[in-house]
Amino acid sequence: MPPRRTAALLLLLAVLTSCTGDGERPPESRSVPSRTTAGPSPSADPTDSAWVQLMIPMGRQAVILLDLAAEKATGPRLRDWASRLRTDQDTELAALRGLRDRMGLPDTDLHKGHDMPGMVTAEDLEEARTAEGAAFDRLLVEQIRDHLRQSEQVSRSEVSAGSRPEARARARALVTARAAQLACLTALHADKHTR
């Protein structure tokens, strides 16, 4: 996906997440909300919020596909790679969920049912469950490559457009991780075709 389209997607997500209220301002005479209110913290701007709320479901869906790889991938190297990537995804998801919670964002999937670039969809997972052998391997590699590329692009956009230092640092770490993960996938794929 071109950088301009990625930036437009992030901007759209930011607008959508900032427009979820009913548009009315509460009267000044209402009581002050308690500390348990789960609204975004003052440092949770729309770009940061949109990035976190996109990355979590993207990672969660990728983990489901990587779990299938443990059972269905045809070779031990592909299974090992998928297992290591799944561990990385778990670590990333834990960090993103912690960030989401510190930002005061709700634990909801704003993207459920959306067919977005890099998102492993329910249809993709159903196809993976029925695919066998080389067909499963191809689907796994294609879907995970798309996931890694898109999450890298979206994270680059967060680095350049986000405002919360913690979110930008997490996005920078994801960009670095994605470069290494994509390089590993490329090497694995090249090695398979040179044998």
Task: Give mean pLDDT, residues 124-139.
Answer: 96
Provide, rounded to the nearest whole percent, the portion of the chain with pLDDT above 90: 62
Provide, rounded to the nearest whole percent, the portion of the chain with pLDDT above 70: 72
| pLDDT attached to residue 18 | 39
pLDDT digits (tens, 9 = 90+) for 54-90: 999 999 999 999 999 999 999 899 999 999 999 999 9
Q: Report how far residue 88's alpha carbon sits from residue 167's, in angstroms, rounded to the nearest whole number.
A: 18
pLDDT digits (tens, 9 = 90+) for 39-50: 444 557 899 999
More confident position, 192 or 10: 192
Distances (CA, A) of 61 to 12, 15, 25, 58, 113: 21, 24, 36, 5, 11
* pLDDT above 70: residue 33: no
| pLDDT attached to residue 191 | 65
| pLDDT attached to residue 108 | 74
Is 84 in contact with 20 (CB distance < 8 Å)? no
Domains in the chain, CATH or no CATH each = 43-194 (1.20.1260.10)
* pLDDT above 80: residue 117: no
Q: Crossing angle for the helix pair 133-161 and 3-18, nearest 10 degrees?
A: 70
* pLDDT above 70: residue 107: yes
Q: Please provide the average confidence, as pLDDT, over all residues in the chain.
A: 80
Q: Report how far residue 81's alpha carbon sits from residue 181's, in angstroms, rounded to the nearest whole number.
A: 9
* pLDDT above 50: residue 129: yes
